[in-house]
Structure 1
Amino acid sequence: MDSSRPEFSFAMLHPRYWFLWCAFGLCALTACLPYRVQLAMGRGIGILFHHFARDRRAVAAINLALCFPDLTEAERTRLLRANMEAMGIGLIEQNMGWFMPRSRLRNLIAVEGLEHITALGDQGAIIVTRHTSSVQLAVVAATIFHPFAGMYRRHKNLVMDFVQRKCRERMNEACEAFERKEVRTMLRFLRQGSRVLYAPDQDYGIKQGVWASFFGVKAATVTATSRFAKLGKARVIMMDFVRLPGLQGYKLTLGAPLEQFPSDDEQADVQRVNDLLEAQIRRVPEQYLWVHRRFKTRPEGEPKYYPPKRKR
C-alpha cells in the first residue's frame, strides 16, 4: 500500500467543501441513469461546447487542418462538430468511470487481447494509450480486467484529490494511481512486474523529447516510452479504447508486445510509437483530443500555429 494515498479526514467536511460534495452526489446519481440518456446528455454538452468554447474549438480546427489536409473544408467542419460532441460525451464518460456501478460498466465493454498481458508472467509492461475524449473512462475501465497502475495529476483541492484518486482505483484493489511526476515510482512498479498505463502523445516541449512526425507534422515528442522500457526492463503494449457506434458501448484492445522495442535508436522508437498512435486515431478521428495544442512547440524559425491564449 502506498503511504501517499489520500485518506479521508474530518477536514474534508469543512463547509467550504460542501458544494463539492453535493456536486459529487449529483454526479453519482447521473451515473445511474440509462446509458442512452447519459450519451444524450453528453452530446448536448458537446453542442454547447462547440458554440461557446471558442478557443478550444479554434485549436481543434487548426489541428484538423494540419493533420487532414486532404479533407475538404466541409468534411473538416463535420469532423470538428463530431469531435466537439465527442468531448461533451467524454465529460459524461468520466462521470461513468468514477461513479457507475462496476457490473454495469463491465457490461458495456468488449475486451480483446488480455492474453498478451497474461503471457508476460512477472515482467512489467508499459501500456501505451492516447488522449481521447474517453481517456478518463478508459483508464478506469481497463482496471476492471487487470490491476493496471497509472499516472494522475494531483489536485490542490483536498476533497477533489481524494475523490479522483479513490475513483481511479475503485475497480480493483490491487491497482494504484500515482502522481505523474513520480518517475521513480513508475520505474519501481515496472521492475516489480506491474503494468503501467502511459499516454505519450502530448507536447511537453523539446527539452523532454525529440522531433518526430505526427500526421506529417513535426511534433515535439517525449522519449520517455523507450527510456522507461529500458530502465524498467519492461515490454511495451499498445492499448486502444474506442466508443462504438450507437449504444454498443466500448471496445478495449490490447496488442501483442512490440518486438525489438526499445531499440538502440531512440529516434526510431519515438517515431514508431507516433505511427502506431496515428493509425489508431485515423480509425476514429472524431474521438481524439484535438483541443490539445499538440504542435505548440515549433522548430527554431518556424511560426507558431496557435494564437496566444487569451488572458482571463
Structure 2
Amino acid sequence: MLKQLMVGCALSLLKLLAVLPYGFVARFGDLLGRLLYKLPSKRRCIVYTNLKLCFPHWSETRCQAVAAHHFRHVIRSYVERSVQWFGSAKKFEKLVEIKSEIDLSDPNLPPTILLGFHFVGIEAGSISLNYALKRSCGALYQPMSNLKIDQAAKQARARFNAQMISRPESARTILRMLRVRTPVMLASDMDHGARNSAFVPFFGVPACTLTTVSRLAKTAQAQVVPFIGEVLPNYKGYRLKVFRPWENYPSDDPLADARRMNAFLEEQIELMPEQYYWVHKRFKTRPPGEPGFYDAC
C-alpha cells in the first residue's frame, strides 16, 4: 500500500514538473543527481565498476569525475520524464533538435529497424523519433515490475502513435510489422541473459550481446538504421541523431554482426562517455567459469 502511494506521488510530481519551464526541471534533476551521488549506493558502485572495466587506462581522477557526471545525467533523465511523458507536444518538439541522415517523412521507407542505444537520452530520442516519423511505428519495451509505472510509461511512449511491443512476445509482432513496412524501434545493447545472445567484445571485455537484430533484419530483409538521443549542454534540450542505414548488414555471420554493433556503440560512447547508461550491469552474465564483476556491489 505504501509503495503504491509513493508511486502515485512520484507520477503526480512528474505531471507537476511537466508544466514548469524545462530549464528549471533540468537543473533540479542535475542538483538531485549531485546530492544522491554523495550517498553510498549499489548503483554508484556499478557505474564505477563498468567504467574501470571499459577504460582501464583512465586515471582514478577521470574515472571518478565521469562517474559523478553520469550519475547526475541518470537522475536528471528520470526527472525529465516529466516533460517527455506529460509535456505538451509543442513543448517537447521545441526541446529536440533532429539531425537525420535519412528522410524520416518518406512514406516509402523500406522495412526498417530503428536501432537505439541506451544513452541517457534514449527516452527523449525514441519519443521524438516516433513523432518525427508522422506515422505508426512499433516500439519494443521491457515490462516494468510496478504495474502503475508500466502503464504510465506505455501510455506516454505511445502518445505519438507508437505501437508498444512487449519484449517477451516481440519476435512475431516485429516481423509482422516489418513485412507491411511499419518501422520498428528496438535496442539490443543490454544484458538480457544467455538466450539469443553470444559473448562478444565490448571495450575488450566479453559481453553477453543479443544477436536478434541481425536475425530479424535477415528474416524481414530490413535495413538497420541506428539512432542516438543526446543531451545537449547548458540545459538546451536534446539532439536526436539518426544515422545512415548500415551497409552490408546483416551478414551471414550473426557474431560478426553483433561485434559490428558493439564497435559502433563504442565509437559513440567515446564521444560522450558520461551519457551512456553505466548504471546497468552490462557484464552481469559471464562466460562459464568466469567470476562475476559486481559481487562487491
Letter in 2 for 1:190: L
Shift of 1:303: 2.2
| Residue in structure 2 matching 1:168, options 153, 157, 174 | 157
> What's the counterpart of residue 229 of structure 2?
241
In structure 2, relative to structure 1, the CA distance for the partners of 1:76 and 1:124 (3 Å cut) is same
- Secondary structure at the aligned position of 1:69 is classed as coil
Provide the alpha-carbon RMSD of the alignment.
2.3
Letter in 2 for 1:296: K
CA distance in 2, matches of 1:53, 1:95: 26
CA distance in 1, matches of 2:180, 2:130: 18
CA distance in 2, matches of 1:85, 1:249: 15
In structure 2, relative to structure 1, the CA distance for the partners of 1:176 and 1:114 (3 Å cut) is farther
Q: Which runs of 5+ in 2 are unaligned?
A: none
* TM-score, with length taken from structure 2: 0.91
> What's the counterpart of residue 276 of structure 1?
264
- Secondary structure at the aligned position of 2:102 is classed as helix
Does 1:218 find its partner at 2:228? no
1:219 and 1:295 in contact (8 A); partners too: yes
Q: Could you tell which deviates more after superposition, 150-159 or 279-288? A: 150-159
CA distance in 2, matches of 1:157, 1:218: 32
> What's the counterpart of residue 172 of structure 2?
184
CA distance in 2, matches of 1:280, 1:130: 10
Does 1:206 find its partner at 2:188? no
Shift of 1:25: 3.3
CA distance in 1, matches of 2:180, 2:266: 31
> What's the counterpart of residue 12 of structure 2?
25
Letter in 2 for 1:176: Q
Q: Could you tell which deviates more after superposition, 117-126 or 187-196? A: 117-126
- Secondary structure at the aligned position of 2:168 is classed as coil
1:96 and 1:137 in contact (8 A); partners too: no
Shift of 1:26: 2.9
Aligned length: 294
- Secondary structure at the aligned position of 1:298 is classed as coil
Letter in 2 for 1:126: I
Q: Could you tell which deviates more after superposition, 175-184 or 56-65? A: 175-184
CA distance in 2, matches of 1:25, 1:160: 12
- Secondary structure at the aligned position of 1:150 is classed as strand
- Secondary structure at the aligned position of 2:234 is classed as coil
Letter in 2 for 1:260: N
Q: Which runs of 5+ in 1 are unaligned?
A: 1-15
| Residue in structure 2 matching 1:154, options 119, 126, 143 | 143
Shift of 1:19: 6.7
- Secondary structure at the aligned position of 1:202 is classed as coil
Shift of 1:209: 1.1
2:120 and 2:229 in contact (8 A); partners too: no
Shift of 1:260: 0.9
| Residue in structure 2 matching 1:34, options 15, 18, 21 | 21
Does 1:112 find its partner at 2:124? no
Shift of 1:139: 2.0
In structure 2, relative to structure 1, the CA distance for the partners of 1:167 and 1:75 (3 Å cut) is same
> What's the counterpart of residue 182 of structure 2?
194
CA distance in 2, matches of 1:163, 1:56: 24
What do residues 73-98 of structure 1 show as CA deviations (whole Å, max 9, x unaligned)? 00111001001101111111222210
